[in-house]
């Protein structure tokens, strides 16, 4: 099993999670509805934190639930946790081992809040401190860089949102995710060839907005931890407020620009980058207007609703990071200085 093979497992992981955990998710949603939940308080680190960024947009847009990202150090080093009332406290962790994330759930429960662990280890410390456990069922992930556990977390969050909404049509859209993922994986060889162009790249930026703000952070993280490129993620709106000044002719800009509410805003930024600043554009999109502007175009299905695009748009990004790692002469299975399970306090 390798990083590359785990990327290819994702369609099966999506389908298994959807078929196996829907009943559990609906039970969790029923309990949430039975309480006076006013907001979500979420703790995560690393890749799981990017899943939290997705939850921030999704639960806000589709379920009218404001989401606050926890500051775990307040619970550990400072030992001054904030008052948490009428919240759903969620901890997201692939391993469920990190003490600071566990501490947030433990304190949330102590203060009388409903707690939920989203993890790939149902017997982990995080799970043991939660009222409910949503096992993402990604099976063992041996690669240090998380791929299938990340997208399984996104699927779990999507299922929870669908269950909370009570909208049956959203479950129908979730049923199509596996097929859209298989379609994205068909680009593997083309992406391998395209990655060769960037073997000497040392720095870049990654842009996303809305639901795919999370994807920008996750693509940048994969580039950093696997290829050692200084890849900085930004909302396209934040990028305009200063950081755009770093762009010069040939500067690589990665962008996730699918159809949706923020598409026109993203497209205007890409036009400025291409026509005025002469940037090098690598674009993931399901809109031909965006793809036509790219030096490297990475298409995804035109049929994906915006709220589910992060589950699919990250797949060509994962493949790109894997192939660029190889092109640079590094080993995707052995990224330097990092390990699979990171425990922070």
Task: Give tens-digit pLDDT for 241-269.
Answer: 999 999 999 999 999 999 999 999 999 99
Q: How confident is the model at residue 240 (pLDDT cuts 50, 70, 90)?
A: confident
Q: Are 203 and 231 in contact (CB under 8 A)?
A: yes
Q: How confident is the model at residue 148 (pLDDT cuts 50, 70, 90)?
A: very high
DSSP state of 244: G
Please report the pLDDT score of residue 30 as a whole number.
98
- The predicted-structure confidence for 164-174, as pLDDT tens digits, reads as follows 999 999 999 99
Q: Are 92 and 153 in contact (CB under 8 A)?
A: yes
Please report the pLDDT score of residue 178 as a whole number.
98
Quick check: 192 pLDDT over 60?
yes
- The predicted-structure confidence for 95-121, as pLDDT tens digits, reads as follows 999 999 999 999 999 999 999 999 999
Please tell me whether residue 155 adopts helix, strand or coil conformation: helix
Averaged pLDDT of the chain: 96
Mean pLDDT across the stretch 285-293? 98
Please report the pLDDT score of residue 344 as a whole number.
64
Please report the pLDDT score of residue 298 as a whole number.
98
| CA–CA distances in Å: residue 110 to residues 81, 129, 280 | 11, 10, 51
Q: Are 224 and 326 in contact (CB under 8 A)?
A: no
Please report the pLDDT score of residue 54 as a whole number.
98
- Please name the CATH architecture into which domain 187-327 falls: 3-Layer(aba) Sandwich (3.40)
Please report the pLDDT score of residue 336 as a whole number.
83
Q: How confident is the model at residue 343 (pLDDT cuts 50, 70, 90)?
A: low
Mean pLDDT across the stretch 174-188? 98
Q: How confident is the model at residue 337 (pLDDT cuts 50, 70, 90)?
A: confident
Among 286, 289, 324, CA closest to 306:
286
Mean pLDDT across the stretch 206-216? 98
Do 3-175 and 187-327 come out as alike in CATH topology? Answer: yes
H/E element, 193: helix 188-195
Strands of 54-128 (E only): list them.
67-69, 87-93, 114-119
Domain boundaries, the chain: 3-175, 187-327
Q: Are 196 and 329 in contact (CB under 8 A)?
A: no
Q: How confident is the model at residue 345 (pLDDT cuts 50, 70, 90)?
A: low
Distance in angstroms (rounded) separating the CA atoms of residues 7 and 73: 32
- The predicted-structure confidence for 26-69, as pLDDT tens digits, reads as follows 999 999 999 999 999 999 999 999 999 999 999 999 999 999 99
**Topology, domain 3-175:** Rossmann fold (3.40.50)
């Amino acid at each position: 099993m390798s990083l590359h093979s785990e990327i290819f497992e994702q369609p099966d992981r999506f389908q298994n999670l959807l078929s196996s955990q829907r009943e559990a998710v609906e039970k969790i949603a029923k309990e949430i509805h039975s309480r006076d939940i006013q907001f979500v308080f979420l703790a995560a680190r690393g890749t799981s934190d990017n899943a939290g960024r997705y939850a921030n947009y999704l639960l806000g847009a589709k379920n009218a639930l404001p989401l606050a990202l926890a500051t775990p150090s307040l619970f550990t080093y400072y030992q001054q946790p904030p008052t948490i009332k009428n919240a759903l406290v969620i901890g997201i962790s692939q391993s469920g081992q990190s003490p600071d994330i566990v501490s947030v759930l433990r304190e949330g429960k102590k203060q009388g809040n409903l707690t939920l662990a989203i993890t790939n280890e149902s017997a982990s410390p995080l799970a043991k401190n939660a009222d409910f456990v949503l096992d993402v069922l990604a099976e063992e992930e041996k690669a240090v860089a998380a791929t299938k556990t990340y997208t399984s977390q996104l699927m779990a969050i999507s299922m929870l949102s669908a269950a909370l909404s009570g909208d049956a049509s959203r479950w129908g859209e979730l049923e199509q995710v596996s097929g859209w993922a298989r379609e994205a994986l068909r680009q593997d060889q083309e992406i391998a060839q395209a990655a060769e162009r960037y073997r000497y790249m040392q720095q870049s930026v990654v842009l996303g907005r809305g639901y795919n703000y999370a994807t920008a952070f996750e693509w940048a993280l994969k580039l950093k931890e696997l290829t050692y490129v200084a890849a900085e993620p930004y909302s396209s709106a934040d990028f305009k407020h200063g950081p755009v000044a770093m762009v010069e002719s040939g500067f690589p800009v990665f962008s996730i620009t699918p159809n949706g509410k923020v598409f026109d805003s993203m497209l205007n930024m890409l036009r400025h980058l291409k026509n005025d600043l002469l940037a090098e554009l690598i674009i993931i999109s399901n809109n031909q207007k965006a793809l036509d502007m790219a030096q490297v175009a990475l298409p995804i299905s035109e049929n994906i609703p915006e709220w589910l695009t992060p589950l699919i748009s990250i797949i060509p990004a994962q493949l790109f990071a894997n192939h660029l790692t190889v092109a640079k002469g590094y080993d995707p299975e052995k990224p330097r200085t990092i390990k699979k399970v990171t425990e922070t306090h």
